[in-house]
Amino acid sequence: MDFHQSRVKLMNKNVTKTTILVSGAAGFIGFHVVRKLLNEGFVVIGLDNINDYYDVNLKYGRLRETGIEQSSIKYGEMVQSTKYHNYRFIKANLEDRQAIENLFSTEKINIVCHLAAQAGVRYSIENPHTYIDSNIVGLLNILECCRHNKIEHLVYASSSSVYGMNSKIPFSENDRVDHPVSLYAATKKSNELMAYTYSHLYQLPTTGLRFFTVYGPWGRPDMAPMLFATAISEGKSIKVFNNGDMKRDFTYIDDIVEGIVLTMKVIPNKNSETPFCSLFNIGNSQPVALMDFIQTLEDCMGRKAKMEMYPMQAGDVKITYADTTKLEQATGYKPNTSLKDGINCFAKWYKNYYK
């Protein structure tokens, strides 16, 4: 593996003495990251406001898997996990500046993995304010706390949506990303600029990860894989946009989590390409036609899908395709889950969870 030793500092610490704050811990990606970090022996603090953008029972279900019971959760109070001695959880809003400042001043946090955000492209058309509160004010509060508490590395979630209508494929970190086609994308692009500024002004090591459609067990009910699985299992119609003429760089959750945890350990320093600041695509680099995804899901669910064809939706793009060379070179990231295996694991979880 080429870890670019001259450009980055590798984390060289006893994991049991390293405390990582994971925001969005009740969310899809955050939950899986928390589990992986706990299994590696890190001390983890999870944060989430458990909002009702989608079914909160799924969020409480994820928390339960990590030993956090719904009945023990109170706003602003730390809860000890009953399953993991090295895990605690706090319910708080990112935009609650006092709550976030209190957390950072009472806990000795080393690394922050900031995944909490108002996600979703389509929802941002109807609910613009939520995106500014959670994604812009939220990140500002996190950046300020990282700056004042000498956090060693802030890894935060960006999105492939920053590429907008980019027609050049695969999408490279060197491509222009100043034509966002949804407010969600604009907030993610703003996050990258805000992180750059804090790296530049305060030498805060930051790494942004641009995720490409992530799927897998405990996935998001507002995203295509879960919407499709639900429609197939209930015998209802799937809404297929742009008449199915779309491709997505679907990435399996375990590959993403592996990449996030590898990234946390590779800390950009003053000799980095951009001092103290990194930005990577994290995808599968194998875009899949939407109709192929549906067919594989039908096979794994053991049932045919009914489909209704619709035109392209506002804010949507036709193809996403990640060039992940930069992340591979920096961290050794190598996604290795085939679509068939990934969908199979997802379908098994889905049938078991919703039976």
Active-site residues, by number, are 184
| 273 CA to centre of own chain | 24
How many residues sit in the footprint of ligand NAD (CB under 6 A)?
27
Per DSSP, helices labelled H in 305-338 are: 325-331
- Interacting residues with ligand NAD between 56 and 85 (CB under 6 A): 59
Which of the ranges 209-217, 266-274, 320-328, 331-339 carries the binding residues for ligand NAD, by CB under 6 A? 209-217
Binding mask 92-111 for ligand NAD (x = CB under 6 A): -xxx----------------
Q: Does 259 bind ligand NAD (CB under 6 A)?
A: no
Check residue 335 for interaction with ligand NAD (CB under 6 A). no
Q: How far is the CB of 138 from ligand NAD (least distance, A)?
A: 5
Tell me which residues in 3-32 interact with ligand NAD (CB under 6 A): 24, 26-30
Q: Does 324 bind ligand NAD (CB under 6 A)?
A: no
Q: Which residue has tokens 């000795």?
A: 108
| DSSP assignment letter at 163 | G
Considering only 72-80, 90-98, 199-207, 292-300, which stretch makes contact with ligand NAD by CB under 6 A?
90-98
Rounded CA gap, 105 and 143, in Å? 14
Cβ 206 vs Cβ 257: under 8 Å: no
Structural tokens at position 4: 């670019």
Task: Let me know how many helices (H) and strands (E) the chain has, helices first.
Answer: 12, 16
Sign of CA dihedral 172, 178, 182, 188: positive
Which 116-145 residues touch ligand NAD, going by CB under 6 A? 116-119, 134, 138
State yes or no: residue 284 binds ligand NAD (CB under 6 A): no
The whole-angstrom separation of Cα 340 and Cα 345 is: 9
* Pairing state between β 247-248 and 288-289: antiparallel
By the criterion CB under 6 A, which residues form the site for ligand NAD? Answer: 24, 26-30, 48-51, 59, 93-95, 115-119, 134, 138, 157, 159, 211, 213-214, 220
